[in-house]
Amino acid sequence: MGNAFHVYKPDGTIRVFQQSDRGLFYMDTAADATVEVTMVNTVANNRSSYTNCDYSRAVLAHQIQQTIGRLSTRTFLEIIDKHLLPNCPITKKDILAAEDIFGPDVGSLKGKTVRHKATRVEGFTVDIPANIMTRY
């Protein structure tokens, strides 16, 4: 099998990462058809947890959030809790479902997110194979 490392997951499964010809390690997801691997969450996958009615209300909540100025989810929840939007048909549950399905609103994150100084990583020792150490 060549140079590889194994990742043992809490559920008992093992993920094998093999070294490519160029030296990078990868996991071949097509090699084992019995293992189902999902690397990304999609809206369709997130939507499957909700009924059609809940999804429609989440879409409406998402549209209203964009219409009123792309407020943060916390501010949007406060507005709905305090009934500051007259005749607004959505509830707190709809807003939380929208964030779960679509993720945080990108427009509300842009310009508001600041970079924080990274925390210092404390040193630790790891046994690295000799061929990796000599190459890199």
pLDDT tens track for 96-114: 999 999 988 887 777 677 7
> First-to-last CA distance in the chain?
22
**In terms of residue numbers, what domain contains 16?**
1-39
Whether 70 maps to a domain, the answer reads yes
Q: CA 37, CA 30: separation in Å to the nearest integer?
A: 10
Q: Which of 18-22, 63-67, 127-131 has the highest mean pLDDT?
A: 63-67
The model's pTM: 0.55
Domain shared by 97 and 47, yes or no? yes
DSSP bridge pairs for 8: 14
Domain shared by 60 and 99, yes or no? yes
Domain shared by 33 and 51, yes or no? no
